[in-house]
Structure 1
Amino acid sequence: MDRVPVVIVGGGPVGLAAALELARHGVRSLLLERHDATTWHPKARNLNTRTMEIARGWGTAVHDALVAVNLPRAWMSRIIYTRTLDGEELGRVSTGGFSGPGRDVSPEMPLLSSQDVFEPILRRGAEASGLAELRFGHEVEGLESGGTGEDDRVVLIVRERASGLAYRVEADYAIAADGADSGVRAQLGIELDGPRGLGHFVNVYFRADLDPWTAHRPAVLFWVASDDTRGVFQPLDARGRWLCQIAYDGRAETFARYDAERCVAWIRAAVGAPRVVPEILSIGTWTMNATVARQLVRGRVLLAGDAAHQLPPTGGFGVNTGVQDVHNFAWKLALVHAGVAAPALLDTYDTERRPVARYNCDRSLENSLMVARINAAASGESGARLSPKDAVAASRRYGNFLGMELGFHYESAAVVPDGSEREPGADEVIDYVPSARPGHRAPHLWLERAGERCSTLDLFARGFTLLTGPAGARWTEAAADARARLGVALDARAIGAEGEWTDPSGGFSELYGIGEDGAVLVRPDGHVAFRAAEAATSPTERLSSALGQVLSRAQG
């Protein structure tokens, strides 16, 4: 029987990200994927700004390979709505969520490519880590142990599809990233909350020269809405690779009629030009749901990605919510596996991530309804309340979601509140207000050391990080004591004129909400765990107590 610390079920982008994150934290894993290779169909396209920040931790080779396959920037700045590509333009919306917030907010920008391109990059990175074994063509057929709180291990029944050979895998924990129809979730009996079957779509991957209708007005999405055609064109590389989505009634017999010939006819009608000659590369189907699992943790099993939540694709939050799930639980698994944290720390994965998944799901569904309103207005449906132009203008949240992407926060036992109030922007979806309030993503700020420029985000590595003001010597001493007392990895970094890292903008203290002798404790996932505006009394006890709470263990 194979024995590993963590077994990952599913080798899509979320499963591969789990292997990468666990390797970053020094944890060995075994990934089992029933398909023989990574996906051949584009599927997801967007790795957003927060996900690309996470990718910085996967090493230069993976990060730079992802950046290299990005769409040209001009194609990321707007969504265009038309009747057909050759027909009337109904309107356009600038899309800061897809083009990125700028280097003052993040050192990263989003990636727009396609899943068939970026999945192999993640796979190569995981294989190169030396800590992840990937077995494609191996299907998990059952969970024999690990689904209850009484189980002391996970045991999976696995079959190698090519040979038919069955075997067992034993692990301390399992990650179920096995998709929307997750067999692991079904065996655990975990229900999904939220509407299902909201729409059915034919997904067509094709190659064609659409430059006459798009090159002069590049966009991340071209929606079409006429009496005959409703759908969307998605550029994959700005060199002729496209994805389009066609609504249908969800019946198998209807989908069977969408052969290459019919898809070509739809593309020509949606472009409005019969001379277009598309080369159909693949045809798939999917159903739109807006569901979240009622539990993300059951026994020794953690759900992630589509196994945990299924989001409408409008906004591109599906894969990103999954990758950020992984980023949340990987460090927790590592500390529990090492005996540094108590198993109760893993419960905070559910507490922290399920509300975020529900929020992302609901906002993505709202985006989908915005598109439906535009389609209704364009078609002159009797129930349409807005003109096409006004309906497009009302869809501004779709494509502009920085507050939603970077402004979410956690409330759990792994966060120590400081009594401060959250400060949302004018529109909590669109507007991001940087904050180092406990539970929030620690804000990006450019720092310098010996002429080297660095983002604050790059200081958050495998362990905890304590950022102090320039007069934070007492906190540095407290960090040394906490390391010895709790056996936890903890780096202390003084920021400011007299500190290890200089602050060229002079904005660190204000941005992080502390004085010169204050401190902020940042978790390995870059979220603030604890903040003290000043040293005041007993920084050693305060820091050790905060860390003990985060680790779900008594102070020792």
Structure 2
Amino acid sequence: MERQGPAVLIVGGGPAGLTARALLARWGVRTLLVEKHRELSPFPRSRLVNVCSMEIYRRLGLAGRIAARAFAPEYGRVRFRDTLDGPDVATAAMAGVQAPVPESPVTGVVTSQHRLEPTVLGAADAPVRFGTELVGPAEESGGVVALLADHGRGTETRVRARYVLAADGAHSTVRRLLGIGTGGPGALGDFTTVVFDADLGRWCARQPAGVYFTAHGSFLPLYPEGGWAWSGPTPEDPALTGAVAAGR
């Protein structure tokens, strides 16, 4: 079945796709966003909303709400230590956060991606289909016909759009379907992230940071009210991850 579609079909429901949807809605452009996952990601993932992005969110009226749930500016710093409770070997301010950009009316913020996305999702009243994947784009005169698979219903539909906007990340389905390659060195390694609750404030409360790089992996405070993530190279035996995170 083929349906008359939007002017722009957005593929990918991360920050880039959601922001594009909000901007296009502001400009009166009809969109449809499809995301192959069934919901927004529940994981922290990206940690920094930079100055350029906050300028865009300021125009959308979202900057205040995003900053209200983010860390204070003094967390806009990285610290390098042998261990989490050791002294700094080196430290640096994150550009645009603890080191403001004088030419900009805003500063960047340290916040978790899954706190940003619901705010941006709510900034537009354009349709979104979760659990729906682009499986076949076909260019035609004046636009694109996209084959969409609804994984929840087990159905496929064809939607006609003027443009397709690929916002589906490093492992882009759109790029793969169109045979578009990549350059550069490729994957640099495999990393594991562990999200956990613990009271680590006694080791870092007086020296806040958005990231603590240590010899045992990176420690990241997740929310102003608590929560942490540890990230490090994935060991050959995944069962060792907990021991590595604990510094044993």
Distance 1:238 1:75 in 2: 10
1:78-117 deviation line (CA, Å, top 9, x unaligned): 3211111123532222334332425x42110102110111
Q: Does 1:202 align with 2:192?
A: yes
- In the TM superposition, 1:206-225 aligns within 5 A as 206-225=196-215
1:73 deviates by 2.0
Q: Could you tell me which residue of structure 2 aligns to residue 25 of structure 1?
A: 27
Q: Does 1:268 align with 2:246?
A: yes
1:181 deviates by 1.5
SS of corresponding position for 1:85: coil
1:144 deviates by 2.4
Distance 2:244 2:226 in 1: 17
Q: Could you tell me which residue of structure 2 aligns to residue 36 of structure 1?
A: 38
Residue identity over aligned pairs, in percent, reads 36
- One-letter code aligned to 1:246: G
1:24 deviates by 1.8
- One-letter code aligned to 1:203: T
SS of corresponding position for 2:129: strand
- One-letter code aligned to 2:84: L
Q: Could you tell me which residue of structure 1 aligns to residue 130 of structure 2?
A: 136
- One-letter code aligned to 2:152: A
Q: Could you tell me which residue of structure 2 aligns to residue 73 of structure 1?
A: 73
1:98-139 deviation line (CA, Å, top 9, x unaligned): 32425x421101021101111111111123xxxx21111111
Distance 1:126 1:178 in 2: 19
Higher helix share: 1
SS of corresponding position for 1:22: helix
SS of corresponding position for 2:9: strand
1:169 deviates by 0.7
- One-letter code aligned to 1:240: G
Q: Quick check: 2:51–2:104 contact (8 Å CA) kept in 1?
A: yes
**With CA pairs under 8 Å and 6+ residues apart, which has the higher RCO, 1 or 2?**
2
Q: Could you tell me which residue of structure 1 aligns to residue 63 of structure 2?
A: 63
- In the TM superposition, 1:170-185 aligns within 5 A as 170-185=160-175
- One-letter code aligned to 2:195: Y
Q: Unaligned regions of 5+ residues in structure 1, if any? A: 271-556
- One-letter code aligned to 1:72: A
SS of corresponding position for 1:101: coil
Pairing partner for 2:139 from 142, 145, 165? 145
- One-letter code aligned to 2:121: R
Distance 1:232 1:159, change over 3 A: same
- In the TM superposition, 1:161-310 aligns within 5 A as 161-225=151-215, 229=216, 231-248=217-234, 254=236, 257-258=238-239, 262-269=240-247
1:24-72 deviation line (CA, Å, top 9, x unaligned): 21101000111111111111011111110111121x3x33221211102
Aligned length: 246
1:154-174 deviation line (CA, Å, top 9, x unaligned): 111111111101111100111
- One-letter code aligned to 2:233: A
- One-letter code aligned to 1:267: A
Distance 1:18 1:71 in 2: 25
Q: Quick check: 1:142–1:158 contact (8 Å CA) kept in 2?
A: yes
- In the TM superposition, 1:152-163 aligns within 5 A as 152-163=142-153
- One-letter code aligned to 1:266: V
SS of corresponding position for 2:83: coil
TM-score (norm 2): 0.92
Q: Quick check: 1:24–1:57 contact (8 Å CA) kept in 2?
A: no
TM-score (norm 1): 0.42
Q: Could you tell me which residue of structure 1 aligns to residue 83 of structure 2?
A: 84
1:263 deviates by 4.1
1:406-446 deviation line (CA, Å, top 9, x unaligned): xxxxxxxxxxxxxxxxxxxxxxxxxxxxxxxxxxxxxxxxx
1:192 deviates by 0.7
Distance 1:95 1:16, change over 3 A: closer
Q: Could you tell me which residue of structure 1 aligns to residue 97 of structure 2?
A: 98
Q: Quick check: 1:49–1:100 contact (8 Å CA) kept in 2?
A: no
Q: Could you tell me which residue of structure 1 aligns to residue 109 of structure 2?
A: 111
Higher strand share: 2
SS of corresponding position for 1:179: coil
Distance 1:198 1:206 in 2: 25
Distance 1:120 1:169 in 2: 26
Q: Quick check: 1:80–1:221 contact (8 Å CA) kept in 2?
A: yes
